[in-house]
Amino acid sequence: MLDGLNNSDLQSLQGDLDSLTPLDIKIEMFRQGDFDFIVEGIADNSEGDWKIGDFTRHHKQENALKILTDNVFNEFLYGGAAGGAKTWTGCCWLAFSAMAYADTNWFVARNELKDLLGSVMKTFYKVFKYHGITDYKFNAQKNFIEFPNGSVINLIEVKYKPADPMFEDLGSFEYTGGWIEEVGEIHQKAVSVLGTRIGRYNNSKYGLSRKLFMTCNPKRNWAKSMFYDKHMDKSLYQDNKKLLPNGRKRPQRIYLNCLVTENPFIEQEYIDSLYSKASEDKPTYERLFKGNWDYEDNPNQLCEQECIDNVFDNFHVKEGKTYITADIALEGSDLFVIFVWKGWKVVKVLTRQVTQSAQIVSDLNYLKDQYRVSATRIMIDGDGIGAMLKGQVRAKFFRNGGKVVKKGVYTSNYRNVSVQCLYYLAREIVNNDQMWIADENLTRDQKKRIKDELSQIIRVPNKQDFSKLDTKPKGEIKSDLGFSPDYLDCMKMRVWFDLSKELDLTVVYN
Ligand SMILES: Nc1ncnc2c1ncn2[C@@H]1O[C@H](COP(=O)(O)OP(=O)(O)O)[C@@H](O)[C@H]1O
Ligand SMILES: [Mg+2]
């Protein structure tokens, strides 16, 4: 192979090799897709003289790095427990990508800059030290890390600002790739805006795919429904094969979970402290140790998680009078949902994506006739679009901001009737296993969504009047889940009939 090289060529080659630092070799390995220098090491539990057997390998991290550098996937959610090495992986990927490809532009984003500085930056410093990276500058005024080859990693805050609801501020930069840490804290809109900013800066020069890396602990939010749930029922990968309506390829998505027990580098104290924190508190244990996405650690959640899990199996719930409740939507992301009830048993759930008002009227009339429900037992969400149906459908119309029902069995001081109904639904019905959603035609997705919506009944302090009970506002629920709680609205409206049993129904709401 060295034929044709004269002595001076060989000498200069030798000189080049001599001048290579261990870091240069790591950078070249990274470029070639060999991550041994990151994922191999000595396990933390080895003490003093280490033996061959102490060498260890973080297989999940290696998989994650492969996905981060392949030409297949575009959006990658990694995580689903604490201590699996999410942050370390993100820092290694960005640092080595920036060093391996001159003049590239990367970001790491979080809800708040102070969290980036307090946690991600600390891990960057650890990674720099561990891998002997000294040649970088951190600009603390403008919050970016710069390397001598001209590459940059920007630290960006993506907090929701009412003055910029569409996150247009994020829209003007061009990046090679980026990472969103604790993505569940971030508005879905911000994530989609960031997704449009990557793949735009020297990607074709180096053959780098558009790559959005996301990390988070398990939580009930849009990331769960968009990645975890779809990963579990495999639809994530079926969706990847479908084309967009405009005939273009979809962003190729993938989810990979990683538990603390899969991280061979974890310090024993970390496991011990996580374990002692988690052992007192089941949801924390389930979420952070076992990576269970179906546990909410919010102590203010009004429905007990176990009871939420029961709503499709409460066969003991007896049938009673028939009611219909309906949440109206004509277009956009909201659903049009009708529940038909016999007592607290849901016998029929009708869901439509997009509807026209004639369709709504005919659906309602059809179900009203089929189940023989009188107009006094039909409740329609009367806010917004629902109001248009007044005069077209004989029914009651629910006003979310309406006054609480005073004569009902449940008379504490609530901000409005909607909050009152949600409290009653959670405490009296769900937590006593008194609701059975018995429609066998519900899909797995719909069931998951119903459960996620029930977990969003969350107590919050009322800012105007501390004496009043309040629940998490719908806008916040929408932004956390990524969709409107349309099923929950139908369940909430059913409560009204229980509360107002003693009232003259026609007087209060019509
Ligand atoms: N490749 C690695 N080499 C050395 N240490 C690692 C590696 N990956 C992870 N670690 C160790 O594991 C610890 C936990 O990883 P971290 O990324 O903070 O977890 P997470 O963000 O998932 O909670 C880190 O503090 C680090 O000490
Ligand atoms: Mg972390």
* pLDDT recorded at residue 47: 54
**Distance (Å) from CA 87 to ligand 2 centroid:** 4
**Distance (Å) from CA 98 to ligand 1 centroid:** 20
* pLDDT recorded at residue 53: 60
Measured in whole angstroms, how far is the alpha carbon of residue 150 from the centre of its chain? 34
Residue nearest ligand 1's atom 17 by CA: 85
Q: Which atom of ligand 1 is nearest to the CA of 38?
A: 1
Which burial class, exposed, middle or buried, applies to 98 when counting CB atoms under 10 A from its CB (0-12, 13-18, 19+)?
buried
Q: Which atom of ligand 1 is nearest to the CA of 92?
A: 1
pLDDT of 276 strictly over 50: yes
User: Do 351 and 441 contact (CB within 8 A), yes or no?
Assistant: no
pLDDT of 509 strictly over 60: no
Q: Which atom of ligand 1 is nearest to the CA of 266?
A: 12
Residue nearest ligand 1's atom 9 by CA: 85
The residue among 293 and 122 whose pLDDT is bigger is 122
- Residues 6 or more apart whose Cβ sits within 8 Å of residue 70: 209
- List phi, psi (to 5°) of 412: -60, 180
Residue nearest ligand 1's atom 8 by CA: 85
Average pLDDT over residues 47-74: 85
Domain segments of the chain: what residues? 19-41+52-240+247-279, 305-499
Instruction: Summarize pLDDT for 170-218 with one digit per residue, the tens.
Output: 878 999 999 999 998 898 899 999 999 999 999 999 999 999 999 998 8
CATH topology of domain 305-499: Nucleotidyltransferase; domain 5 (3.30.420)
Instruction: Summarize pLDDT for 436-476 with one digit per residue, the tens.
Output: 999 999 998 899 999 999 999 999 988 777 788 999 999 88
- How far apart are alpha carbons 294 and 279 in whole angstroms? 17
Q: Which atom of ligand 1 is nearest to the CA of 90?
A: 17
The residue among 245 and 66 whose pLDDT is bigger is 66
265, 286, 297, 273: which is closest to 127 by C-alpha?
Answer: 265
Residue nearest ligand 1's atom 7 by CA: 265
Measured in whole angstroms, how far is the alpha carbon of residue 241 from the centre of its chain? 22
Residue nearest ligand 1's atom 16 by CA: 85
**Distance (Å) from CA 85 to ligand 2 centroid:** 7
Q: HSE of 159 in the Cβ direction (CA atoms, 13 Å)?
A: 9
pLDDT of 45 strictly over 60: no
123, 96, 113: which is closest to 35 by C-alpha?
Answer: 96
* pLDDT recorded at residue 78: 96
- How far apart are alpha carbons 179 and 122 in whole angstroms? 16
Confidence of residue 295 (pLDDT cuts 50, 70, 90): confident
Q: Which CATH number fits domain 19-41+52-240+247-279: 3.30.540.10, 3.40.1010.20, 3.20.20.70, 3.40.50.300?
A: 3.40.50.300
Confidence of residue 331 (pLDDT cuts 50, 70, 90): low
**Distance (Å) from CA 431 to ligand 1 centroid:** 39
**Distance (Å) from CA 289 to ligand 2 centroid:** 13
Considering every ligand atom, which ligand is closest to the CA of 120? 2
- How far apart are alpha carbons 128 and 353 in whole angstroms? 50
pLDDT of 306 strictly over 60: yes
**Distance (Å) from CA 79 to ligand 2 centroid:** 9
Confidence of residue 299 (pLDDT cuts 50, 70, 90): confident
Confidence of residue 391 (pLDDT cuts 50, 70, 90): confident
pLDDT of 507 strictly over 50: no
The residue among 355 and 380 whose pLDDT is bigger is 380
**Distance (Å) from CA 82 to ligand 2 centroid:** 7
Q: What angle do CA 256, 83, 52 make, to 5 degrees?
A: 95
96, 265, 271: which to mutate for ligand 1, most atoms within 8 A of CB? 265
pLDDT of 505 strictly over 50: no
Q: Which residues line ligand 1 (CB under 6 A)?
A: 38-39, 41, 58, 61, 82-88, 123, 263, 265-266
pLDDT of 388 strictly over 90: no
Confidence of residue 236 (pLDDT cuts 50, 70, 90): very high
User: Do 287 and 301 contact (CB within 8 A), yes or no?
Assistant: no
* pLDDT recorded at residue 305: 85
| Mean pLDDT, the chain, integer | 88
- List phi, psi (to 5°) of 382: -90, 0
**Distance (Å) from CA 181 to ligand 2 centroid:** 8
- How far apart are alpha carbons 315 and 205 in whole angstroms? 61
- How far apart are alpha carbons 36 and 27 in whole angstroms? 12
List Cα–Cα distances, 29 to 23, 206, 298, 463, in angstroms.
10, 15, 44, 56
